[in-house]
A and B are shown apart, each in its own frame.
Chain A
Amino acid sequence: MVVVVIALGLSVVQGVRYVLGRRWPFGSYIGIMWAFFVAFATAELWSFRAGNWVFGFISFLALREYFSMVEIRLQDRPAILAAYASIPFMFHFVTVGWYGMFIISIPVYSFLAIPLLITLGGREKEGTVFSIGAIDFGLFLFVYCMGHISYLMSYSTWMAVMLILNVAVCDIVSRLLQEQGKPGWAALALSYFLPLPVTILFAVVLSPWTTIPWRHSAALGAMIPLLALMGRRTGSYVEADLGVAEETVGPGRGQILDNLKSLLLVAPIVFHYIRYFLDLP
């Protein structure tokens, strides 16, 4: 029932986008919302396992787009192969609920393997540090952070829905503020305080479904806009360095990164907050 309502809602938004055409201010944001919706709906209606693998696929698409934009050398290819290969491992650990391995597989094993593989790929030494950094960052953002949303979904789909919904609110507000085009303290403060009541409201109203006590829900609602703000800041710097500007953003050119950047900090921190305070496995 809820799934149908959300699907209808998204369809309406999609329709509005179609009607507005170029005047639509949110770019391809609706696309990523559809992707998350498919993941959640699959998890709710069919099985968590399948929904989890949808997340894995989103993660793959995002990583592929990111690697297409960074400058890589021929000898980084083994490391990039390893980066792609860690997606199935990561999401397998989520499926079986092996928390310990899920949390260390990328920061320990992948991050150790990648520099080694770069050295095994060829004898060029110049650019090693840059390559390690570029590959590790992509892996961290698009696989590790996405994995946290998926792991959150293994506790309860509604927790993940609450997270995505609140981040979406923050993103929409920030994009509208961006349209106004005013830098300054006021815009910064507004992009925190404008979504704040909405995020707290959503978090508290959804608390019977998320099973997070309302106090913690309110705290999460207050945290999310701030974390999303920090994530957007980081993401926008990454985008600028990769040469993604508003006029060139498109398929394979920062579209997914642009829409996921707010989640960079939100996903892991909210996940660990919930896991710690609710004492979850």
Chain B
Amino acid sequence: MKAGRLVTMSQAFIHVAVLRPLVRLFCGVHVTGAAHLQRLQRFIIIANHNSHLDVFLLFSLLSVRDIALTHPVADETYFERFPIVFALVRFLFQPVWIRRGHPDRKDDPLHGLKDLLDRGHNLVVFPEGTRGRPGELQTFKSGLGRLVSEYPGVPIVPVFLSGPERVLPKSSAIPLPFWSHVLVGPPQVCAGSPRDITQHLQDALHELAKSGVKRLRPRQRRLQSYQPAPAVAILGIDGSGKSTVSRRMAERLSMGGGACLVSDRLEFYENGEPKPLQPLVLDAARGLVSRYAKRARSLAHYKIPKLTELLLRDRMLAEVNRWYAPRIIVQDGSPLLNMAAWATLYGREDLSEDRLATAVGILAGQRHGIARSDPIFEELPELRHLDQLGLTHLVLPRRLVLLDLPATAACARIATRGEALQPHETEEKLKRLRDAYLKVVRIIDQHWRVPVLVLDATQPLDGLIVEAVRFLNVVLEEPSKT
């Protein structure tokens, strides 16, 4: 009796003073739900089995008193092969030995387990049998159900271990330090047929594993293929209400996914609500250029800053895709088409539709079979500069809405704003701009097969928006082109 007590005490001492610090060093144990194990008189722990360290982790959960009273169930045939390990395991854990693969033995294979439960001891069972593949739960062995059905009063505590399979995997001999997470589930009390009990306990451990896996498992690497969002554009001359319309469009199109509005200000909408996002450096630069352009006195001074602003605004689409990942981008004006329309404003109204279509193609980066010596570059010198600088990869919108407004009405609306007039905001110039837009839109429709909706902007706003939303919504259903 005295010798037995000495063994028990030295066993507990080694556990507390040596094994637990080592386990903490190598596994940094993080336990959730430890309270479930307290105040239980007699219990059976069931756990998933992926590593030899599992049993060390489970023993570090026990109170000092329980160390000597708890016995893991181990396979004698496995440990018999290593006599030193066998002796060590027997001293540290006092396991109950069962012999795997000897079903023809006369006596009950669960005899040892029942004996211990009768004496009020606790058991640690790995019901999967052997150590399985990391992170996967195997089906439980039926012996557990048979045992539990005879002891309906003993609570079963499911414990899910995540991490020891990394500290000491099945095929490895050297343990490496990694964090381990231990999830202790609520104690289960079961009754019924052995088969039902096994199934119930398996479900309980599965449930526990599922609750932890998402939180605890190191994240798998996954890369999403980059898919730029479709861009749609609202066109129109100043005063046609395109800023208002495009904002309302972005709100309406943001149902069920983010919609980004690229306008004078960059805005992001989700489910109809504006959502603040991180600012973009490029947008700040574009804002500066835009403010500078609006202060220009004449059209000649307006040209270069406006062109720069349009180029920056086009680059914004790529930035927006990269940083905000919207589902759709609503453009207040399309840089590509604005350029084409403005080209006519700078005194080249004689440009034929075919020539203009070629210019649009070059700007959109589709310069197939057009030589550098082509007369189009003579007619539009800016185009040559852009081409030489490699700035001709502007985005062609997927769908277009043109808000058509007579120049007189536009001038009247601009006058009511009470802001300083920009150089092109005269009736004569707006009329030319309007004609240019109509021409460009016609070309886009015929040569580039981009669906266009021309709306009469003198109508009330709400009607316009309903019609435009119906037209643009199609983009979201279309399969994306690459």
Contact = CB atoms under 8 A, between A and B. Distances in A.
B29 to A, nearest CB: 9
A158 interface: no
A64 B220 CA distance: 18
A239 B366 CA distance: 42
A67 B66 CA distance: 33
A77 B176 contact: yes
Given A64-B178, A77-B172, A71 B276 contact: no
Interface stretch (A38-46, A162-170, A247-255): A247-255
A93 interface: no
A68 B216 CA distance: 10
Interface in A66-110: 67-72, 74, 77, 80-81, 84
A8 B252 CA distance: 57
B278 interface: yes
Interface stretch (A21-29, A182-190, A204-212): A182-190
Given A183-B276, A184-B276, A74 B221 contact: no
Interface of B is mostly: loop
Which of B177, B216, B276 lies at the interface centre, i.e. has the most chain A CB atoms within 10 A of its CB? Answer: B177
Contact of A84 (B172, B177, B179, B221): B177
A256 B86 CA distance: 39
B215 A248 contact: yes
A183 B279 contact: yes
A71 B220 contact: yes
Contacts of B174: 77, 81
B279 A185 contact: yes
Interface string A182-205: 111100000000000000000000
Interface string B161-187: 001001001011010111111000000
A243 interface: yes
Contacts of B276: 182-184
A142 interface: no
A60 interface: yes
Nearest to B178: A68
Contact of A67 (B178, B215, B277, B284): B178
A71 B176 contact: no
Interface in B183-203: none
Contacts, number: 69
B179 A74 contact: no
Contacts of A68: 28, 163, 166, 178-179, 218
A174 to B, nearest CB: 15
Given A77-B172, A250-B30, A71 B218 contact: yes
B219 interface: yes
Given A183-B277, A184-B278, A84 B166 contact: no
Contact of A74 (B171, B216, B218): B171
Contact of A242 (B163, B178, B216, B219): B219
Contacts of B177: 60, 64, 67, 84
A262 B178 CA distance: 23
B279 A251 contact: no
Interface residues of A, number: 28
A251 B218 contact: no
A72 B166 contact: yes
Interface in B214-228: 215-216, 218-221
Contacts of A130: 221
B221 A64 contact: no
A243 B163 contact: no
Contacts of A243: 218-219
Contacts of A251: 28, 30, 179
Interface string A229-273: 000000000000111000010111100000000000000000000
A243 B217 CA distance: 9
A65 B216 CA distance: 12
Interface in B262-283: 276-279
A252 B30 contact: yes
A70 B218 CA distance: 6
Contacts of A77: 169, 172, 174, 176
Contacts of B163: 68, 252
B267 to A, nearest CB: 13
Contact of A241 (B171, B172, B219): B219
Contacts of A60: 177
A182 B28 CA distance: 36
Contacts of B277: 183
A80 B30 contact: no
B179 A65 contact: yes
A77 B178 CA distance: 11
- Among B169, B219, B277, which residue has the most Cβ atoms of chain A within 10 A? B219
Interface of A: 60-61, 64-65, 67-72, 74, 77, 80-81, 84, 130, 182-185, 241-243, 248, 250-253
8 A-B pairs with the lowest CB-CB distances in the bound complex, closest first:
A252-B179, A68-B179, A243-B219, A251-B30, A68-B178, A64-B177, A183-B278, A252-B30
Given A65-B179, A74-B172, A241-B219, 4 more contacts: A64-B28, A68-B178, A81-B174, A183-B278
24 contacts: A60-B177, A64-B178, A65-B28, A67-B178, A68-B179, A71-B219, A72-B218, A77-B174, A77-B176, A81-B174, A81-B176, A84-B177, A182-B276, A183-B276, A184-B276, A184-B278, A184-B279, A185-B284, A243-B218, A243-B219, A251-B179, A252-B30, A252-B163, A253-B179
